Structure 1
Amino acid sequence: MQNYQRLKQRQRAERDSYSQALAIRIHRALSWLDKAEQCDDDDSKFTFLWIAFNSAYAQDFEQRINFSEKGLYQEFLSKLVNIDEHNKLSSIVWSQYAGAIRLILSNEFILQAFWDYQSGRIPEDKWKDERSKAKVAANNALGNNDTSTVLAILFARLYTLRNQIIHGGATFGSSANRKQLRDCTFVLEQIVPTIIELMMDGKDELWGEPVYPLIDI
């Protein structure tokens, strides 16, 4: 059974106990997860998985503040980790750190500092220093079982790839970004359904009003 089908069954059984804000977030996120699971190409799948994540997460301040390496998602991810009694997110990080996550953190083409260097905004040593610091921070966080920090650093890379695709900085089906797109999609396929599930687990938590609430006219 795909993640959407499993989670949708649970949502139908529990939705009357959700706050309106959470109900909207979960409903929207599941709709995009469903679409992502129907896709057979990574460009589309990654895009719809990101929309699913944003449907679950999006806050007003995200439209006004640029994402940083430290992570605007840190508070959200930390909240999920605290709810995660069975360490599902931690298990994903531990199982994939030596594989897909390590490859993502080592790929300069989804490090924003690399593109800042290419555009002449920072010197070469600056972007290389940013890459090294992020690797050290991720390794230290992993050693301290700080899952939320590892995820925040990871999501900084995912966000760069998201920008490349959404803002037309990549070609559909291009061979130039297949490696990072494949790795990032693989990781999102595991993380996004887990995030939705943890929000269901934390139905009594305050998740905030959706950025665009449902208006009944």
Structure 2
Amino acid sequence: MNDSLSFSNLKNKQRAIRAGFPETMGLRVHRAISWVGRSEACDGDEDARFLFLWIAFNAAYADEREFQSIAPGERAAFLDFFGKLVALDHEKRIYKALWQRFTGPVRLLMENRYVFNPFWQYHNGIDGYEDWEARFKASAKSFTQAFQAGDTARVLSFVFDRLYVLRNQLVHGGSTWNSGVNRTQVRDGAAILAFLLPVFVDLMMENPEQEWGKPFYPVVQ
């Protein structure tokens, strides 16, 4: 757990400064913090914790453009959001988390073929993915290059690309609750999200003047 940025700390900060938030950004932060809070009450249920944290991520990140017919790929959209966060992260909290606290879990995630989308495309009989192993090796090489170069935004993009596959497995019923088969990636994924999401939300609150996008589901009276 990111002790300095628990739900209560985030909520107290939000209450103190939310009067200066633009309406759309304020709604994003309010929703994201609520799901961070829910994730803290999972009592060892890593599947639930991961899913609640992913909802918090969606609340903070998803832009209405994602729901339109012509939308950028997930990787491109992730990279845009992460690039903005990293540029605003003057204390390098995200960098330090990836390079120090979560080096092991991140590398294990990148070496896990079961959270690599082309692997599943191939095993589901989709044409054009017979070369999934070559793609997997190329992806690992690109990730290593980004990691060694200290390209935090690109590293985040790779990590969340894998976590997105895990999210799909859980949300679309492709996994058993509390299964021993995918425990490592669920546990590590939840730990990574539990640290990063509060940092993302905190950076947004500290930079309310930035364009964070329009929520697709606004509050309608």
Sort the TM-score into its range (normalised by shorter chain). over 0.9
Query: Which stretches in structure 1 are left out of the alignment for 5+ residues?
Result: none
CA 1:96 to 1:116, structure 2 compared with 1: closer, same or farther past 3 Å?
Answer: farther
Match in the other structure for 1:58? 62
Match in the other structure for 1:25? 28
How far does residue 143 in structure 1 lie from its aligned partner after superposition?
Answer: 1.9
Match in the other structure for 1:36? 39
Within 5 Å, give how 1:3-22 maps onto structure 2.
Answer: 3-22=6-25
Q: C-alpha distance in 2, partners of 1:98/1:28?
A: 29
Match in the other structure for 2:171? 166
Give the one of 160, 172, 183 matched to 1:155.
160
* Greater RCO (CA < 8 Å, at least 6 residues apart): 2
Q: C-alpha distance in 2, partners of 1:8/1:98?
A: 29
Tell me the TM-score normalised to structure 2 length. 0.92
How far does residue 23 in structure 1 lie from its aligned partner after superposition?
Answer: 0.6
Question: Percent of counterpart pairs with the same letter?
Answer: 36
Within 5 Å, give how 1:1-217 maps onto structure 2.
Answer: 3-40=6-43, 41-63=45-67, 64=69, 65=71, 67-68=73-74, 70-96=75-101, 98-122=103-127, 126-216=131-221
Runs (4+) of structure 1 moved beyond 4 Å?
64-68, 122-125
Query: Which stretches in structure 2 are left out of the alignment for 5+ residues?
Result: none
Deviates more, 1:81-90 or 1:172-181: 172-181
CA 1:180 to 1:71, structure 2 compared with 1: closer, same or farther past 3 Å?
Answer: farther
**1:31-62: per-residue Cα shift (whole Å, max 9, x none)?**
00000011120010000000001000111232
Tell me the TM-score normalised to structure 1 length. 0.93
How far does residue 96 in structure 1 lie from its aligned partner after superposition?
Answer: 4.2
Let me know the Cα RMSD of the aligned residues.
1.7
